[in-house]
Amino acid sequence: MSTIATLRIGEVGYVSEESLDAIPLKLLEMGCLPGAEVQLIQVAPLKDPLYICVNGSHLAIRKETAAKIIILKSEY
């Protein structure tokens, strides 16, 4: 099972429908919805927070939250 927290820098995934209940309302309002493209941009020096791009919007989220959001990795 892959989560946003398991992405490597530059890697892309898509938010899974399964994680809808685990996504905080604030992130849902910012566009982190099932099917949304997520790319890991940067990781802070102490590994928390994670800087991600969701559908063109740049967000910083805690690693604890990122570990709850299941993704499907793109298969290029």
Domain limits of the chain?
A: 2-73
- Residue listed under structure tokens 């290029």: 76
Residues 6+ apart with CB under 8 A from 2: 13, 70, 71, 72, 73
Residue whose C-alpha is closest to residue 66's, from 29, 30, 40: 40
pLDDT digits (tens, 9 = 90+) for 22-62: 888 888 888 888 989 999 999 999 988 999 999 888 999 99
pTM of the predicted protein model: 0.84
Query: Rounded to whole angstroms, how far apart are CA atoms 44 and 48?
Result: 5
**CATH number at 2-73:** 2.30.30.90
Q: What share of the chain is helix, strand, coil (3-state, %, to 5)?
A: 25, 35, 40
